[in-house]
Amino acid sequence: MKSKLTLRDFSLLLSLLAIGGFFAIAAPQFLSARNLSMLTVELAITATLALGMLLVILPGHIDLSVGSGVGLMGGIATVLIIHHGWPAWAAMTGSGLVALVLWMAMGALIIRQRIPAFIITLGGLLIFKGAFWLVIGSHTIPVVAGGSSNLYSLLTTFFLSPAASAVLATLVFAGLVILNLRARRRRATLGFAVDDAEVAFLKLFVTAQGLLLFVLTVNQFRGIPLPVVILGVVALMIQIITRHTPFGRHLYAIGGNEEAAFVSGVPVQRTVIGAFTLLGGIVAITGLMQTAYAGATTTTVGDSMELDAIAACVIGGTSLRGGRGTVLGVIFGALIMASLLNGMTLLAVAPEMKFIVRGVVLTLAVWMDVKLARR
Amino acid sequence: MPALLEACSITKRFPGVTALREVSFDLRPGEIHALCGENGAGKSTLIKLLSGLHPHGSYEGELFFDGAPAQFASIADAQRTGLAVIYQELALVDELTVAENLFLGCEPRRGVLIDWDRIWRDGRALLARVGLDLAPDTLVGDLGVGSKQLVEIAKAHGKHARVLILDEPTAALAEREVDTLLELLRDLRRRGIACIYISHKLDEVFAVADRITVLRDGATITTLPTSATGKNEVIRAMVGREIAELFPRHASHPGEVLLSVEDLSAAAVKGGPARLHHISFEVRAGEVLGIGGLMGAGRTELLMHLFGAWGARLGGHLQLAGRPFDAASPVAALAAGLVLASEDRKRYGLILAESIGFNLSLSSITRLRRGALIDEEREAHANQGLFSSLRVKAPSLETAVGTLSGGNQQKVVLGKALMTEPQVVLLDEPTRGIDVGAKIEVYALINELTAQGKAVVLVSSELPELMGMSDRILMLHDGRVGGEFTRAEATPEQLLAAAMGRTPAAA
């Protein structure tokens, strides 16, 4: 038996090519090594947060507070370093722990007290925003004192050397090939549908070209940016968690039918609280990256990032009702959002128009998904 | 007599399958015509076609209503012509009152405003017509399934329906409610309203229908006057084979007590009024304990409570395999060796959008691990084993469960329960809404479970099933034990009396 490829499998790729093509023509510097390198950093930040969001959308919840959380977590680490003289690693760990506790508490409130996530996290959005401004005293504080660098600032200024980048990309590709072959063999022995050999080869071939293009481009600048490596690790972890652990199965089951999941022996409360706690950790990682990318913590860090994260999920085919969504889809969704923003910035599009375009794209993506899903 | 509604050699194709092949069917005025057939025989497709859900042009063949060609473009179109369908999943809005529901979509108006006086007045009249003694401003959500069904019929009546189509109307009803419904249908027949009656329960079909049409594999097999046929002939036509014995319960050799319940009382919520009162019983290894009772007697609540999925304990002692047992959640119950297959497949049983394999292993997935990760090979083998031993009819394990027929969905629910390797299996209405062939497979499975030394608790609304499959029968009445019987001594009259709270001694 074969699995069929449909238009829907390609719709994301096609939209991405269309967007990329448009900007390449309208703003030639879009394809410059420097810009693409920056774009991958922006992508890494958006996609990391969106992957965390996926964890709570899968069981049918939502989190509106992650944008404020990004600001707050970045702010806490900054203040600990600059005002309290903590070493960077301790400050970053500290802000991560705070995030884990806060998000675990929100998860517990949502699932134990049966308060909709929309409300709890809307409260979180406001509370974290206020707490953020209190923590930083509504000032702008650089992430590193003087002109030197620390572990924190290195998050977005460190690049793997071109040689290391090439090695890493090769290793990643080799890993993908091995995993792919193993999965194919296993599925075939179990009598499940597998892609045609040609299709499988084509997919790997396209992936290899993509990786090659990526490495060649970023190597022209400085090599692979550290955030991309962080995104890679986060994506791998989330892929394993959602697809290969009972916890991940339970996320899909709860989103598909919470009552049936409960009666089937799925520990609903523990699973949902776990998902929110993991999201908390990811919010902290994103907060640190975003603040480091901005170079300083200011009152606007993280603004409306929750919307980009949710949009990336939805564009990537995640159902807001829960039960459906994939890591790869979310990364594509984030890539579309990040490309749009980056390209519009290059074209010096007015901020007003940026908002409108993002909204239109999100609406279109959902509309298309609904249309194509009905076929 | 000219037919009121007639379908002439209807063929309906879906991509890849022909659901109906040259089906012909006629309904006379003032007739109750039963439509019988296994799941997947084409009954639902035929109904959807008659009711306009599959519009004219999407099928081949002709429909006639009152002698004239009928080309329904939509459900609304069919309704205007005089057809009303009462679906399995009732189409009522729980948050609205009975009267509002009766006129939903065709509210009487005075100018642009709703004429509330008429809604209340006409609503009351319609309710009286179906023998429902209810205030028109009762919220539908507060009604039981039986009353909701009657409201649906009243609603169809209000739209001056001349043909009522009832799809498994009694699936969720207790015996007494069934009687009320059948009596109402006979009454409607006297007033010239014709009715197409779809049911898996042949007792009802024979009690109420004038003629029976049997469908199999999308084709009309036969149409017979009820007076000139018998259940065996109908079953034979439905399954295309003879069924020697519907309830092949093997002789049992009960072993030690696996589940013992002593003086159990429970309420829906902490501090609420008790719904289960001082219930005691035990089930032994290799034994089937049947639990019967009317709708609302607390059967489902009892099973769900034992399983840790419903209510708050007020008192009582439970033992599982000799050890104290108190499941606070389904997770704990499964760990202790107790499993529940719920009556409501779509609500409590399955993740419909997911695959068969996903659903089968859902309850066992935490055990099928290697380290922190799912051992996908072991999972696939476990799934494959149940998939073939239960003979689930589907292209592969990766087929979405939502696309399966009722009987096959039920097999997946049971398979999921079995994979947990339980000691005690709680089955809540395991044969509801599934066809005869699948029922027999479920009964065979129950026999197999008891042969393996498991204890089975079987809740059923159908007395023949309860008497055919149980070694002992517990009848519940209003959350209390109304009586306990052995298989040998139980008679339908005794069981019913116990279900209605009349102890034989007092009667």
CATH label of the domain that carries residue A86: 1.10.3470
Provide the residue type at A34 as one letter: R
- When mean pLDDT is compared across A44-48, A230-234, B108-112, the lowest value belongs to B108-112
Q: Do the Cβ atoms of A263 and B377 come within 8 Å?
A: no
How close are the terminal C-alpha atoms of chain A, in Å?
Answer: 21
What is the mean predicted confidence (pLDDT) over B111-138?
A: 87
Closest to B473 measured CA to CA, from B288, B253, B342, B303: B288
Does A238 lie in the same domain as A217?
A: no
Q: B243: which 2 tokens?
A: 């069924």
Give the residue on A whose Cα is nearest the Cα of B416. Answer: A264
Question: Distance between CA atoms of A332 and A47, rounded to whole angstroms?
Answer: 8
Q: Which residue has the tokens 């592969």?
A: B396
Which residues of B, range 265-324, sit inside 8 Å of A by Cβ?
A: 304, 307, 309
Residue A2 placed within a domain: no
Do residues A24 and A31 touch, judged by C-beta distance below 8 A? yes
Mutate to test the interface with B, among A264, A266, A278 (most CBs of B within 10 A): A264
**Contact (Cβ atoms closer than 8 angstroms) between residue B276 and residue B311:** yes
Q: Give the pLDDT band of residue B278 (cuts 50, 70, 90).
A: very high
Q: What does the alpha-carbon distance between residue B324 and residue A375 come to, in Å, rounded to a whole number?
A: 53
For chains A and B, what is the number of CB pairs under 8 angstroms? 84
Secondary structure letter of residue B349 according to DSSP: I
List helix spans (H) across B51-144: 75-81, 98-102, 116-129
The closest of A180, A244, A228 to A334, measured between CA atoms, is: A228
Judged by CB atoms closer than 8 Å, whether chains meet at A266 and B362 is answered as: yes
Tokens of B384: 């494959």
Residue B202: the pLDDT is 81
> Reduced to 3 states, what is the DSSP secondary structure of residue B391?
coil
B454 burial (CB, 10 Å; 0-12 / 13-18 / 19+) is: buried
Q: Pick from A180, A204, A224: which residue ends a domain?
A: A224
> What is the pLDDT, as a whole number, of residue A285?
97
Does the pLDDT at position B20 exceed 50?
yes
B86 vs B161: CA distance, rounded Å = 11
Distance from CA of A249 to the nearest CA of B (A): 8
Tell me which of A179, A202, A224 is where a domain ends.
Answer: A224
B348 contacts in A (CB within 8 Å)? 259-260, 263
Residue B97 carries which DSSP code?
B
Q: Which two tokens stand for residue B479?
A: 């959350």
Q: Do A246 and B369 touch (CB under 8 A)?
A: yes
What is the reported pLDDT for B44?
82
Please give the DSSP secondary-structure letter assigned to residue B439.
H
Q: Confirm whether A34 is domain-assigned.
A: yes
Q: How sure is the predictor about B157, in pLDDT bands with cuts at 50, 70 and 90?
A: confident
Please list the alpha-helical segments (H only) found in A62-116.
66-82, 88-112
Best mutation target among B347, B354, B399 (most A Cβ atoms within 10 Å) is B354
Q: With 90 as the cut, is the pLDDT of residue A291 above it?
A: yes
Max avg pLDDT among A226-240, B79-93, B237-251 = A226-240
Q: Which amino acid does the sequence have at A193?
A: A
Closest by Cβ to B330, choosing from A191, A263, A324 = A263
B209: Cα within 13 Å, side-chain hemisphere: 30
Residues A109 and A69 in one domain: yes
Residues A142 and A16 placed together within one structural domain of the fold: yes
Please check whether residue B264 is in contact with residue B278, taking contact to mean a CB–CB distance below 8 angstroms: yes
Q: Are the beta carbons of B351 and A246 separated by less than 8 Å?
A: no
Angle between helices A327-346 and A351-374 (to 10 degrees): 150
Contact B347 A253 (CB under 8 A): no
For residues A266 and A331, state if they share a domain.
Answer: yes
Residue A191 lies in a domain: yes
A60 and A185 in a common domain: no
**8 Å CB contact between B247 and B441:** no
Residue A1 tokens read as 């038996």
Contact across the interface for B377 and A245, Cβ inside 8 Å = no
Instruction: For residue A249, list chain B residues with Cβ-Cβ distance below 8 A.
Output: 358, 362, 365, 374
What chain A residue is nearest to B375 in terms of C-alpha separation? Answer: A244
Q: Which of B331, B350, B353 sits opposite A267 (nearest CB)?
A: B331
Average pLDDT value for chain B: 87
Give the least confident one: A251-260, B86-95, B117-126: B86-95
- For A235-296, the three-class secondary structure string (H helix, E strand, C coil) is HHHHHHHHHHCHHHHHHHHHHHCHHHHHHCCCCHHHHHHHHHHHHHHHHHHHHHHHHHHHCE
- DSSP H helices in B420-491: 436-451, 463-469
The reported pLDDT for the residue numbered B244 is: 46
Nearest residue in B to A237, CA atom = B373
Choose the mutation target among A238, A245, A263 for the interface with B, i.e. most B CBs under 10 Å.
Answer: A263
User: What is residue B450's predicted lDDT score, i.e. its pLDDT?
Assistant: 92
Question: How big is the CA angle at B42 (ends B36 and B47), to the nearest 5 degrees?
Answer: 80
The verdict on a CB contact (< 8 Å) between A263 and B349 is yes
**Least confident segment among A81-85, A175-179, B40-44:** B40-44
Lowest mean pLDDT among A220-234, B85-99, B222-236, B289-303: B85-99
Q: How confident is the model at residue A5 (pLDDT cuts 50, 70, 90)?
A: low
- With CB atoms and an 8 Å threshold, state whether A267 touches B348: no
Residues 6 or more apart whose CB falls under 8 angstroms from that of B255 comprise B284, B285, B286, B453
Do both A253 and A354 map to the same domain?
yes
What does the alpha-carbon distance between residue A322 and residue B106 come to, in Å, rounded to a whole number?
A: 35
Q: Lowest mean pLDDT of A96-105, B202-211, B384-393, B485-494, name the range.
A: B485-494
- What domains can be seen in chain B, in order of their start residue? 5-239 (3.40.50.300), 257-337+422-499 (3.40.50.300)
Q: Where is pLDDT greater, at A259 or B1?
A: A259
> Given a cut of 50, is residue B505 above it in pLDDT?
no
Are A147 and A264 contained in the same domain?
Answer: yes
Q: Which tokens sit at B463?
A: 């007395």
Q: Where are the beta strands (DSSP E) in B171-307?
A: 194-198, 211-216, 219-225, 257-267, 274-284, 288-293
Q: What is the mean pLDDT of residues A35-61?
A: 95
Count of domains in chain A?
Answer: 2
Q: Locate tokens 């399995």: which residue? A: B88
Nearest-by-Cβ selection for A186 from B372, B377, B396: B377
Looking at the structure, do residues A170 and A117 belong to the same domain, yes or no?
Answer: no
| B351 to A245: CB separation less than 8 angstroms, yes or no | no
d(CA B394, CA B377): 21
Distance CA A39, CA A338 (A): 7
Q: What is the mean pLDDT of residues B223-229?
A: 90
Whole-number percent of chain B with pLDDT over 70? 95
Which of B360, B364, B366 is best to mutate for the A interface (most A CBs within 10 A)?
Answer: B366
Cβ of residue B372 closer than 8 Å to a chain A Cβ: yes
> Residue B251 has what DSSP assignment?
P
Q: Scanning the structure block, which residue is given the tokens 């009598």?
A: A191
Q: Are residues A91 and A132 in the same domain?
A: yes
Is B374's CB within 8 Å of A267's CB? no
- Cβ of B358 within 8 Å of Cβ of A246? The answer is no
Q: How far is CA A365 from CA A336, A338, A362, in A?
A: 11, 15, 5
Q: What is the ipTM of this complex?
A: 0.86
pLDDT band at B506 (very low <50, low <70, confident <90, very high): very low
Whether residues B365 and A260 touch (CB distance < 8 A) is answered with no
In a shared domain, residues A140 and A168: no
With beta carbons less than 8 A apart as the criterion, state whether B486 and B471 touch: yes
Interface check B425 vs A, CB under 8 A: no
Q: Are residues A150 and A271 in the same domain?
A: yes
Inside any domain, residue A1? no
Report the gap between the CA of B281 and the closest CA in chain A (Å). 23
Structural tokens at position A326:
């994939």
CA angle B482, B483, B488 (to 5 degrees): 150
Angle, alpha carbons B422-B473-B477 (nearest 5°): 105
Q: How many other CB atoms are found less than 10 A from the CB of residue B67?
A: 10
Distance from CA of A334 to the nearest CA of B (A): 25
Q: How far apart are CA B316 and CA B280, in angstroms?
A: 9
**What average pLDDT does range A305-309 have in this prediction?**
92
Taking the whole predicted model, whether its pTM rises above 0.90 is answered as no
Domain of A361 in residue numbering reads as 7-158+225-374
Is the separation of the CB atoms in B325 and B305 below 8 Å? no
- Same domain flag for A21 and A166: no
| A202 within a domain of the structure (yes/no) | yes
pLDDT in tens, B300-339: 999 999 999 998 999 999 999 999 999 899 999 999 999 9
* Residues 6 or more apart in contact with residue A198 via CB below 8 angstroms: none
Residue corresponding to tokens 């969905």 = B409
Is the pLDDT at A375 greater than 50? The verdict is no
pLDDT at residue B284, as a whole number: 94
Kindly report the CA angle at A230 between A229 and A231, in degrees rounded to 5? 90
A79 is a domain residue:
yes
What pLDDT was estimated at residue B88? 62
pLDDT of residue B351: 94
Search chain A and give the residue with CA nearest B415: A264
Which of the four pLDDT bands, split at 50, 70 and 90, describes residue A80?
very high
DSSP notation for B144-189: -HHHHHHHHHHHHHHTT-SEEEEESTTTT--HHHHHHHHHHHHHHH
Last residue of a domain, one of A177, A195, A224: A224
Contact across the interface for A261 and B351, Cβ inside 8 Å: yes
A122 in a domain, yes or no? yes
Average pLDDT over every residue of A119-143:
94
Q: Which residues of B touch A265 (CB under 8 A)?
A: 330-331, 333-334, 362-363, 420
d(CA A278, CA A107): 10
Residue B496 has pLDDT above 90, yes or no: no
Residue A64 phi, psi (nearest 5): -90, -5
Do residue B377 and residue A266 have CB atoms under 8 angstroms apart?
A: no
Q: Which residue has the tokens 């980056």?
A: A342
Q: Smallest Cβ distance to A246: which of B307, B340, B374? A: B374
Whether pLDDT at B500 is above 90? no
- Give A263's contacts in chain B (Cβ within 8 Å): 304, 307, 309, 330, 340, 342, 348-349
Among B399, B423, B343, B43, residue whose Cα is nearest residue B205: B43
What integer pLDDT is reported at residue A253 of this predicted model? 96
Instruction: Read off the pLDDT of residues A148-176 as tens digits, 9 standing for 90 and up.
Output: 788 888 888 888 899 999 999 999 999 99
Picking from B96, B102, B139, the residue whose alpha carbon sits closest to that of residue B121 is: B102
- Name the helix (H) or strand (E) containing B270: none
Report the distance separating Cα B295 and Cα A115, nearest Å.
32
Asked if A244's CB is within 8 angstroms of B376's CB, the reply is yes
Asked if A192's CB is within 8 angstroms of B309's CB, the reply is no
Neighbours of B431 (CB within 10 A): 25
With contact defined as beta carbons under 8 Å apart, do B338 and B259 qualify? yes
pLDDT in the model for residue A132:
96
The phi-psi region of residue B36 (left if phi > 0; otherwise alpha if psi is between -120 and 50; otherwise beta) is beta
Contact B104, B156 (CB under 8 A): no
Q: Is A63 inside any structural domain?
A: yes
